[in-house]
């Protein structure tokens, strides 16, 4: 479980990036922070692994203040996936995936052999392990990024717009893959995106953020869809949500329209 307790962040010389943010992220669930650019999503995510320390307030993991943890050790114990893979260009794919386990004392041979299994796990041909990141497609690089984040078998996975830089079809593949992986692995995932559809697809729970990390609404995708808290959320959720294979379900007395993937796409007027 991750707890944000009244955290705020003022960067040197800057305005308040996050102000008095509190939330609880239950273990083994996927929680998505969604908001427009500058709403503080990345800042919040980085507070978990101490790449950013809050100006006030605290972040707890399983009841322990992260500030009592050594930042390097903490970072190695938490998976982190970035938009641009963050892979080391001069190391093979296999060595990229094996990096953190080796730093944590696992032998190179064992780490490489585990890395092969991880490549398969994220849907990549293990033969790609010999290549360098520059020899992979963007989507393949993102899969390697996920494999690398999983390599130390972390309980927590932080994902910062991990699928933001790939085309929509590959993006959909990666999203489905993450859903499959999460069903197998049950990690605590904090996922950042500015795409509400992605948030609804992946999140057990979604936090819609305004500027300054202010929570406009927090709830399950269905709850947010059924009852947007205000005009801000309503406009963020968007009315027009494409022609998919639709059906309806009832939630809290309202009829939700769901697409073929079980995603809420609208509410039927009573
Ligand atoms: N290192 C920094 N120094 C100063 N200001 C920063 C720094 N990092 C972020 N900020 C500012 O803090 C605010 C929140 O930024 P943050 O990156 O957390 O938002 P975000 O919601 O993740 O945005 P994006 O979707 O564009 O990545 C922004 O106004 C940004 O300019």
Number of folded domains in the chain?
2
pLDDT reported for residue 230 = 92
pLDDT reported for residue 243 = 41
pLDDT reported for residue 238 = 78
Question: How far apart, in whole angstroms, are the C-alpha atoms of residue 217 and residue 214?
Answer: 9
pLDDT reported for residue 258 = 75
Query: If 0-12 CB within 10 Å is exposed, 13-18 middle and 19+ buried, where does residue 119 land?
Result: buried
* Whether residues 183 and 136 fall in one domain: yes
ipTM value: 0.95
**CB of 14 closer than 6 angstroms to any ligand 1 atom:** yes
Domain that holds residue 264: 244-269
Question: Which pTM does this prediction carry?
Answer: 0.87
Which atom of ligand 1 lies at the shortest distance from residue 35's CA? Answer: 21
Ligand 1 centroid – CA 16 distance (Å): 10
**CB of 8 closer than 6 angstroms to any ligand 1 atom:** no
Ligand 1 centroid – CA 197 distance (Å): 22
Residue nearest to atom 17 of ligand 1 (CA): 42
* Whether residues 185 and 260 fall in one domain: no
**CB of 194 closer than 6 angstroms to any ligand 1 atom:** yes
* Whether residues 190 and 139 fall in one domain: yes
* Whether residues 205 and 265 fall in one domain: no
The CATH number of residue 55's host domain is 3.40.50.300
Decide: helix, strand or coil at residue 62. coil
**CB of 9 closer than 6 angstroms to any ligand 1 atom:** no
* Whether residues 137 and 259 fall in one domain: no
pLDDT reported for residue 13 = 85
* Whether residues 31 and 90 fall in one domain: yes
* Whether residues 35 and 123 fall in one domain: yes
Q: How many Cα atoms are found within 13 Å in the side-chain-facing hemisphere of 170?
A: 13
Give the list of residues 6+ apart from residue 254 with CB closer than 8 angstroms, or none. Answer: 226, 227, 267, 268, 270
pLDDT digits (tens), the chain, 270 positions: 999 999 999 999 888 999 999 999 999 999 999 998 889 999 999 999 999 999 999 999 999 999 999 999 999 899 999 887 689 999 999 999 999 899 989 999 999 999 999 999 999 999 999 999 999 999 999 999 999 999 989 999 999 999 988 888 889 988 999 999 999 999 999 999 999 999 999 999 999 999 999 999 999 999 998 899 999 998 888 744 544 456 677 777 777 777 766 777 777 776
* Whether residues 149 and 261 fall in one domain: no
Query: If 0-12 CB within 10 Å is exposed, 13-18 middle and 19+ buried, where does residue 57 land?
Result: middle
* Whether residues 59 and 149 fall in one domain: yes
* Whether residues 100 and 147 fall in one domain: yes
* Whether residues 156 and 180 fall in one domain: yes
Question: How far apart, in whole angstroms, are the C-alpha atoms of residue 105 and residue 102?
Answer: 5
Ligand 1 centroid – CA 220 distance (Å): 26
Whether the CA torsion 16, 19, 24, 29 is positive or negative: it is negative
């Amino acid at each position: 479980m991750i707890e944000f307790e009244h955290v705020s962040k003022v960067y040197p010389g800057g305005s308040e990036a996050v102000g008095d943010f509190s939330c609880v992220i239950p273990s083994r669930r996927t929680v998505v922070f969604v908001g427009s650019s500058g709403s503080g999503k990345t800042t919040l995510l980085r507070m978990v692994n101490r790449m950013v320390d809050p100006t006030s307030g605290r972040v707890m993991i399983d009841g322990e203040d992260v500030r009592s943890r050594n930042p390097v050790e903490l970072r190695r114990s938490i998976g982190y996936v970035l938009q641009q893979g963050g892979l080391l260009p001069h190391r093979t794919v296999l060595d990229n995936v094996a990096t953190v386990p080796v730093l944590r004392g696992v032998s190179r041979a064992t780490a490489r052999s585990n890395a092969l299994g991880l490549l398969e796990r994220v849907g990549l041909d293990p033969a790609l392990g010999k290549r360098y990141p520059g020899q992979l497609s963007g989507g393949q690089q993102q899969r390697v990024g996920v494999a690398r984040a999983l390599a130390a078998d972390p309980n927590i996975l932080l994902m910062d717009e991990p699928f933001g830089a790939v085309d929509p079809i590959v993006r959909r593949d990666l999203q489905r893959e993450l859903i499959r992986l999460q069903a197998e692995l049950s990690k605590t995932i904090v996922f950042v995106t500015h795409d509400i559809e992605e948030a609804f697809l992946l999140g057990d729970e979604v936090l819609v953020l305004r500027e300054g990390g202010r929570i406009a609404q927090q709830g399950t995708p269905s709850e947010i869809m059924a009852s947007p808290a205000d005009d801000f959320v309503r406009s963020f959720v968007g009315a027009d949500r494409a022609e998919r294979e639709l059906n309806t379900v009832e939630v809290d007395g309202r009829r939700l329209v769901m697409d073929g993937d079980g995603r809420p796409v609208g509410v039927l007027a009573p």
